[in-house]
Amino acid sequence: MGEMIPVVPVAALEEGGMIGTRVNGVDVLVCQVEGQYYALSDLCSHARQALSKGRLAGHLVRCPLHGARFDVRSGACMSPPASQPVKTFPVVVEGGKVCISVSADDRPPPPRFSPF
Ligand code: FES
């Protein structure tokens, strides 16, 4: 695990809330579900829509563009039209801040379109 970078105060992220941010040039979604914090790529693996502009229901974030869903715990793709997972990042809470480990190498690969 690399350096842990503070990205958002704990107080700014309520239960069921999510925030899109950029860390080391990587778009990251940070959210809180059932008291746990998660961080994952904020670019849908289908066509790079910002997942943080979608809806979070339980552990699943729904892409606002075509409705693919991803599990925030693993980044696993749970429904089409996306077929690839999104990357997740290590999270710790330190000094009242949600901190994550992201490097410039964590930029996602080019999108892979799949038929609807
Ligand atoms: S861009 Fe996310 S489902 Fe198409």
- Whole-angstrom CA distances from 48 to 3, 12, 84 are 26, 25, 12
Neighbours of 4 (CB within 10 A): 18
Structure tokens given for 24: 């080391």
Atom 1 in ligand 1: residue holding the nearest Cα = 47
CA 40/CA 59 separation, integer angstroms? 12
Q: pLDDT tens digits, the chain, 116 residues: what are they?
A: 678 999 999 999 999 999 999 998 999 999 999 999 999 999 999 999 999 999 999 999 999 999 999 999 999 999 999 999 999 999 999 999 999 999 888 887 766 666 55
Ligand 1 pocket: which residues have CB below 6 Å? Answer: 44, 46-47, 49, 63, 65-68, 81-82
Domains annotated on the chain, with CATH: 5-103 (2.102.10.10)
CA-wise closest residue to 50 among 29, 32, 30: 29
Cα(94) to ligand 1 centroid in Å equals 33
